[in-house]
Amino acid sequence: MMRLDKLLSHSGYGTRKEVKEFIRKGLVLVNGEVILNDDFKVDEINDDIIIANEEVNYEKMVYIMLNKPSGYVSATFDNNSPTVLDLISGYEKRNLFPVGRLDKDTEGLLIISNDGGLAHKLLSPKNHVSKKYYLKYDGKYKDNFKDIFNKGIQIDDYFTKPAIYEDLGNNEAYMTIYEGKFHQVKKMMEYVNCSVTYLERIKFGNINLDSNLKRGEYRLLTKEEIELLKNSN
Ligand code: URA
């Protein structure tokens, strides 16, 4: 059992103060009855809860797809820069964190969640979850890039796993990697004397970046996407 205002706020319907307003205005029904007190206790599994004619689906775990803009760090807190969590509102008490990291200047698909178990699985090096990037680079393209990245290269103290490089012409490419070392794509391109000038993640595991999301926008993953994410490889 939990407080009605807490459940609504945790479900993304606003801050505690905002959802209390909804309740006081008589917009919230529990099992068909209007509830006017915000400390009303609800059974989050079995009760039917309606807010402003919309059914509330309380999920303890939250899975958000963010289209990360440049300029935000992938952390829950930073002394100097805004974080990706500053872009998300209404989930303040849900202990969200970014699942993995994109560089401050990297854009695109970032999953934000509070599911530590899933994050651990997706980020564990032994699971080789794929990440696909679109990139632009300065430097000269050579036909052997595909082979070089497919064979793997020595970067710092590690040898990269086979990666898929797809050249798009015009100093643009896709790169799919199966690990996620610090600055990995940028370092891989440096290895072939190129410098990444723009980087965007377009796929993470089985999840594609939703092209309807503008930079800085986010949405909850659908049930199907959550399943896809859980089965990612
Ligand atoms: N590789 C990088 O170099 N940067 C990222 O943000 C992600 C992958």
CATH number of the domain bearing residue 119: 3.30.70.580
In the chain, DSSP assigns E strands to 2-3, 28-30, 33-34, 41-42, 49-51, 54-55, 63-68, 97-98, 107-113, 131-138, 154-155, 158-159, 164-169, 172-177, 195-204, 207-208, 218-220
Q: Based on the fold, state whether residues 134 and 176 are members of the same structural domain.
A: yes
Spatial distance between the Cα atoms of 44 and 42, rounded to a whole number of angstroms:
6
Q: Based on the fold, state whether residues 46 and 19 are members of the same structural domain.
A: yes
Q: Based on the fold, state whether residues 115 and 219 are members of the same structural domain.
A: yes
Q: Based on the fold, state whether residues 102 and 200 are members of the same structural domain.
A: no
111 DSSP β-pair partners: 65
Number of domains in the chain: 3
Does the predicted TM-score (pTM) go above 0.85?
no
What percent of the chain is modeled with pLDDT above 90?
Answer: 85
pLDDT value of position 66: 98
Q: Based on the fold, state whether residues 118 and 217 are members of the same structural domain.
A: yes
Predicted confidence band at 59 (pLDDT cuts at 50, 70, 90)?
confident
Summarize the confidence of residues 186-206 as an average pLDDT. 98
Fill in the DSSP letter of residue 103. Answer: -
Measure 177 CA to ligand 1 centroid, in angstroms. Answer: 10
Structure tokens at 162: 């086979």
Q: Based on the fold, state whether residues 199 and 218 are members of the same structural domain.
A: no
What CATH number does residue 172 fall under? Answer: 3.30.70.1560
Measure 184 CA to ligand 1 centroid, in angstroms. Answer: 5
Q: Based on the fold, state whether residues 17 and 71 are members of the same structural domain.
A: no
Predicted confidence band at 152 (pLDDT cuts at 50, 70, 90)?
very high
102 ligand 1 Cβ < 6 A: yes
Q: Give residue 12's domain range.
A: 2-55
Is residue 91 predicted with pLDDT exceeding 90? no
pLDDT value of position 159: 96
Catalytic residue among 103, 105, 167, 210: 103
Q: Based on the fold, state whether residues 39 and 77 are members of the same structural domain.
A: no
What CATH number does residue 42 fall under? Answer: 3.10.290.10
8 A C-beta contact, residue 5 and residue 213: no
Predicted confidence band at 12 (pLDDT cuts at 50, 70, 90)?
confident
Spatial distance between the Cα atoms of 135 and 29, rounded to a whole number of angstroms:
49
Q: Based on the fold, state whether residues 83 and 36 are members of the same structural domain.
A: no
Is residue 223 predicted with pLDDT exceeding 80? yes
Task: Judge whether 156 counts as a catalytic residue.
Answer: no
Calculate the dihedral angle through the C-alpha atoms of 32, 38, 40, 41, rounding to the nearest 10 degrees. 100
Q: Based on the fold, state whether residues 69 and 9 are members of the same structural domain.
A: no
Is residue 1 predicted with pLDDT exceeding 90? no
Q: Based on the fold, state whether residues 193 and 154 are members of the same structural domain.
A: yes
Q: Based on the fold, state whether residues 145 and 186 are members of the same structural domain.
A: yes
Measure 133 CA to ligand 1 centroid, in angstroms. Answer: 8
